[in-house]
A and B are shown apart, each in its own frame.
Chain A
């Protein structure tokens, strides 16, 4: 299967600061990347879909000014949580598809804790 990495794997930040999470497809070109959020003991919720070179499409209820997504290349997408608050604490996971892969391959996730 294809390999997707995320960085960092775990981050703790103070309320009001911004955090950037990177998602990379290591061995294929990801034309589409997806960002999900998962709260403890809950399912994954799609936040946004990003295609390389275009603006991300956000799901209803997800603030695009708070969760900035950039997909500048076929191997890298970033999610920036701006002015983070404790309620933004969650497990953020990206997935990628493309390069002959129709299925989505998930990164290892980033656990964000906002204090």
Chain B
């Protein structure tokens, strides 16, 4: 079942923060986050495994609440290069293909 992402779209000014949420009705093994720019393949951002964890990568971090089957991606002090569509991909068992949400369109304006 497809995870639900929110918001669908968001417009920010450079330097502002954003939070993108991803929730599933099923028990998850892992949550993967990707960013895709128009006409390009998705670029891997990070993966979070069950057990509930938090990860950080420069100004982009994420959390996974296993009890709620929810993950959030945090973008702080956004840069113009952060623009794109963010997808969460979920996995119920290890080594499965990913089920992607519909995506969140992020536009960063100068």
- A residues with a Cβ closer than 8 A to B are 1, 32, 34, 36, 42-46, 48-49, 59, 93, 95, 97, 102-109
Contact = CB atoms under 8 A, between A and B. Distances in A.
A109 B103 CA distance: 18
For B87, B97, B100, B103, the residue with the greatest tally of chain A CB atoms inside 10 Å of its CB is: B97
Bin chain B's interface residue count: 20 to 34
Nearest to A103: B47
A59 B97 contact: yes
A44 B44 contact: no
Nearest to B33: A103
A109 B41 contact: yes
Interface residues of chain B: helix, strand, loop or mixed (majority): loop
Interface residues of chain A: helix, strand, loop or mixed (majority): strand
A32 B20 CA distance: 29
A98 to B, nearest CB: 9
B87 A103 contact: no
8 contacts: A32-B95, A44-B87, A44-B98, A44-B100, A49-B96, A95-B98, A103-B44, A106-B34
